[in-house]
Structure 1
Amino acid sequence: MIETTSARADTRSRIVEVAARLLQEEGPAAVTTRGVAEGAGVQAPTIYRLFGDKDGLLDAVAEHVMAAFVSAKSEIVKAASAADVDPLEDLRAGWETQIDFGVDNPALFRLLSDPARVVPSPAAQSGRKVLESRVHRVAVTGRLRVSEARAVDLIQAAGIGTIQSLLATVPDQRDPGLAGAMYEAVLRQIITDAPERSDDGSKATAVAFRAIAHRLDVLSESERRLLAEWLDRVINAG
C-alpha cells in the first residue's frame, strides 16, 4: 500500500510538472490531455483518474507553480530579515520580483491570477503572508501611514494591474518605467516619507505601535485586543 501510494504521488507530480512546462513554454493551448499524457509517459485515463478533468489539472498546476514561487520568496524574506536589509529595499525587491515573474511568464500569471483558483489556494495565501511580512517590517519602523492590511491590498492590486497592462502591450512598445512609476505612486500612498502628504505623524506612530501590540506580554490577551481595537480606530479614521 505504501509503495502504491508513493507511485501514485510520483505519477501525479510528473504530470503536473509536464503540464506546467507546456503551459510556460507553449501556452494554454498546449496543455491538452493527450499532450500532457504523452509528455508524462502515462495514459490519458490516468489524468482523469488523478485530476478529474483539465480544470482539475490546471488547478494542480497553479498550486504547484505558486507554491514553488512562494517558497523562493519566503527564503528571500528570511535572508533579508537576518541580514537586517532595509525593509523598504526588501519591499521594492519583492515588487520587482513579482513584476518580472508575471511579465516573463504570461500564461502562468493569468492562471495564477484567476480569482477562482487564488481564493482557495493555500500557496496563494502563503504568498500573501510573504507580502504581509514585508509590509509588517516597514510598519515596525514607523514609516507606514496606513494600516498594514490596506498597504498589502494596494501593493497587490497595483502589481497585478501593472503586469496586466504590460502584458496587454506589444513588447517593443512597453513603457520600461511603468512598473517603477507605479511602485512610487503606491509608496506615496502608504509611506510617511512623501513630503507632499506629510502629517503630524500620529497615524504612522499608531501603525508602528499596532505592529508590535501583540508582543506586549505585560498586558493580558483581552487588553491587547482592546489596544489593537483602539489603534485600528486611529489608523482607519479619516
Structure 2
Amino acid sequence: MDDAKARTRQQILEVAAGILEREGAQAVSTRSVAAAAGVRAASLYQFFGDKDGLLAALAIHAFDLYLAEKQTVTHTDDPVADMRGGWDVHVGFGLAHPAFYLLMFGTDVPGRRAPAAGQAHALLLRFLDRVAAAGRLRIPPAIAAELCMAAVTGVTLSLIGAPAEDRDPGISARMRDIVIDSLVTDPVPAAGPGLAPLALALDTAIAVGDRLPLRPVETALLRDWLGRLAR
C-alpha cells in the first residue's frame, strides 16, 4: 500500500473511531463513516470490505491503544505488584474507552471469541510467567490467565454497564485483590517456598527458555513430572 492510500485508510479509521467513541458501534456504518471522512463509499469498501471489516479494523486499532497504555505499567522486581498494576490499567482503559472496550472484549454471537481475547490472553501470560518463575504461582500460568481474564473483563463490563452515579469505585480493587491473592503465594522466605511453586517455576523456565540438552521425549517426561509435583 502506497503512502497516500495508507494515509487515507488511517484517516477513515480515525473518523470511524471518533464516531464509535461518541455514539457507539450502532452508529458506525459505511455511509456515515464515508461521509464524515469526506471519501467515496467505494474507497471505504476498497480498504475494509464492509461494516464487519471496518469494525474488525477498529478492534485492532483499539488494541493498539490498549497496548500503548499497558506500556505505561512500570515493571518492578515484584511481578505480583506488576500484575495488580496491569489489572488497574486494563479496567482504566475500559472505563475511559467503553465503546472500544465493548468492541474488543464483547461478542454478540455465542461461541465466538472476542476480537482482543487471544491477544490480551497472551499479554497476561507474560506477567504470569514472571510470577511462576519467581516461585509464587499456585497453579499453571495458562489456568491462572483464564481466571484473571474472566474476572477482569467481567468487572470492567459490569462497571461500564452501571450508571456513573451508581459505580462503586472500590469494586475493581477488591475483585483484583481477591483474585490475585487466590492465585499467588507470599514472597519466598529464606527457608524456601515449598515444592509445588518451585516445580511450577522450573516448568515455566523450561517452557520459555532455550533448548535443554535433553531429547524431546526426555523433556516431555520431565515436564510431566514437574506438573505432578506442582499439584
Q: In structure 1, list runs of 5 or more residues that go unmatched.
A: 195-199
Please name the residue that 2:169 is paired with. Answer: 176
Deviates more, 1:5-14 or 1:165-174: 5-14
Cα 1:167–1:76 shift into 2, 3 Å: closer
Alpha-carbon distance between aligned partners in 1 of 2:117 and 2:181, rounded to the nearest angstrom: 26
Matched, 1:227 2:184: no
How far apart are residue 132 of structure 1 and its match? 1.0
- Residue of structure 2 aligned with 1:40, choices 31, 37, 41: 37
Q: Partners of 1:168 and 1:218 in 2: how far apart?
A: 49
Query: What secondary structure sits across from 1:219 in the alignment?
Result: coil
Q: Is the contact made by 1:136 and 1:211 (CA closer than 8 Å) also made in structure 2?
A: yes
Instruction: Give the TM-score taking structure 1 as reference length.
Output: 0.82
CA distance in 2 between partners of 1:151 and 1:167 (Å): 24
Provide the alpha-carbon RMSD of the alignment. Answer: 2.6
Which structure: greater helix fraction? 1
Deviations 1:11-51 (A, max 9, x none): 22211111112111232233232321123221122212222
Distance in 1 between the 2:212 and 2:154 partners? 43
Match of 2:10 among 13, 36, 43: 13
TM-score if structure 2 supplies the norm length? Answer: 0.84
- Cα deviations across residues 168-203 of structure 1 (Å, max 9, x unaligned)? 221111111110111111123211239xxxxx8332
CA contact (8 A) 1:132 1:152 kept: yes
Whether the 8 Å CA contact 2:105–2:114 is kept in 1: the answer is: no
Q: What is the total number of aligned residue pairs between the two structures?
A: 222
Structure 2 residue 107 is the aligned partner of structure 1 residue 110: no
Match of 1:157 in 2: 150
Unaligned stretches of 5+ in structure 2?
188-192
Q: For each residue in 1:104-161, what CA deviation from the matched residue of structure 2 results, as whole angstroms up to 9, or x when unmatched?
A: 2111111001357x8585x654432221111111111111101111111111110011
